[in-house]
Amino acid sequence: MLRILALCHGNICRSPLAEALLRAAIEADPALVGRVEVSSAGTSDEHLGEGMHTESASLLAARGLSTRHRARQLDLQLAAEQDLILAADHANLRAASQLVPHGSATELRLIRDFDPHAVGADLDDPWGYPSSAYERAAREIEATIPGLLAELRRRLA
C-alpha cells in the first residue's frame, strides 16, 4: 500500500481539497484502487480539529465528493508513515523536511511538480480570498492528477 499525504499550512483549505480530489481519481483508476491511501495534514496547529474551510467543502460537495474532515498536524510519526508527501508550497515543503529523518524512504515533493506546466510552482493559499481563488486551487490540483496517477502506477508496477 502506497501512502500519500497532501500537506498545507492549516489543513483546512488546500490539503483537504487535494486529498479528496486525489482520492476520487485513485478510486476511479482500476490499477490504483485499493493500493494507494491518501490523507492530509497541516504544518501548523492553529486549526487542529476544525473542519475544512466552507469554500473547499462547497467545491467538493458540488463535485459529489466527501467534505468530512478534521484538521490535523504533521508530526514525526505521521511523516514516517508516508511514502510521498505532497506539499502545497515551498514553506510547507521546508517544514516537512525538518520532520522527515535523513535517509528516510519518505519522498517530499511539491504537489504542482506533477503538472508538467507548473514544476516547482506553489499552490497559492486561497484562505481569505473569494471563491474564485478556491476554484483556481482546485483547477491547479486537478492539473496534477494525470502526472501523479502515472507516477503511482509506475511505483506499483
Active site residue 13: no
C-alpha–C-alpha distance, residues 57 and 126, integer Å: 13
Active site residue 75: no
Identify the active-site residue in 8, 13, 113, 122.
8
Active site residue 14: yes
Identify the active-site residue in 14, 23, 89, 115.
14
C-alpha–C-alpha distance, residues 41 and 26, integer Å: 19
If DSSP codes are grouped into helix, strand and coil, which group holds residue 63?
coil
CB atoms within 10 A of CB 122: 18
Contacts of 53 (CB under 8 A, 6+ apart): 12, 13, 127, 134
Identify the active-site residue in 29, 94, 125, 139.
125
- How far CA 106 is from CA of 2, 4, 37, 102, 103, in Å, comes to 11, 10, 14, 10, 9
- Residue with the three cell numbers 519518505: 106
> Could you give the residue numbers annotated as active site?
8, 14, 125
